[in-house]
């Protein structure tokens, strides 16, 4: 089975959001515990030192820290976007072969052996064939003419995937 597709910036953004969302689910309880620990530790430190906590200053500092983190993360995300003339965006041919998934773009060719394929994550607009925790093959649903073709592709990937933990 061979699929022709054209990956654009919107497709890349959807993929990265999926990866980040999956990562957040894993780490959200840890972040919550860290935040509670920092908050409790700050309160305890002020209590033990005998000084008063100036709430307006505390919340202004907290807001400034959060805003700085958001701006920094957006700047980093912008720097990590693929180049318009690179290997990620543009036309791709994806072929399911006996050896694995063969992906060809205008600048590259790669074969992801079935043992390295972790499975297909299906959303309402995409099929993300994951080959690592943060790397995958983006296949927009618009790449398939009939739904049966899409279902056949997903079934083949799921059946042949090596089953490495995501």
The pLDDT tens digits for 74-117 are: 787 777 788 888 888 999 999 999 999 999 999 899 999 999 99
- DSSP per-residue codes, 9-75: HHHHHHHHHHHHHHHHHHHHHHHHHHHHHHHHHHHHHHHHHTPPP-HHHHHHHHHHHHHHHHHHHHH
Half-sphere exposure (Cβ direction) of 100: Cα atoms closer than 13 Å: 20
Residues in Cβ contact with 142 at an 8 Å cutoff, skipping those fewer than 6 apart: 5, 125
User: Binning pLDDT at 50, 70 and 90, where does residue 23 land?
Assistant: low
pLDDT tens string 122-162: 999 999 999 988 889 999 999 988 788 888 999 899 988 88
Radius of gyration over every alpha carbon of the chain, rounded to an integer in angstroms: 22
């Amino acid at each position: 089975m061979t699929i022709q597709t054209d990956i654009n910036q919107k497709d890349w953004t959807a993929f990265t959001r999926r990866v980040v969302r999956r990562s957040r689910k894993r780490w959200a309880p840890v972040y919550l515990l860290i935040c509670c620990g920092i908050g409790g530790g700050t309160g305890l430190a002020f209590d033990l030192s005998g000084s008063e906590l100036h709430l307006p200053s505390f919340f202004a500092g907290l807001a400034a820290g959060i805003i700085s983190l958001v701006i920094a993360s957006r700047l980093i995300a912008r720097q990590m976007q693929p180049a318009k003339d690179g290997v990620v965006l543009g036309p791709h041919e994806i072929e399911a072969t006996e050896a694995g998934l063969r992906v060809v773009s205008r600048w590259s060719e790669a074969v992801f052996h079935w043992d390295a394929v972790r499975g297909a994550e299906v959303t309402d607009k995409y099929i993300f064939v994951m080959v690592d925790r943060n790397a995958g093959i983006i296949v927009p649903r618009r790449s398939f003419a009939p739904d049966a073709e899409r279902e056949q592709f997903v079934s083949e990937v799921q059946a042949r995937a090596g089953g490495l933990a995501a």
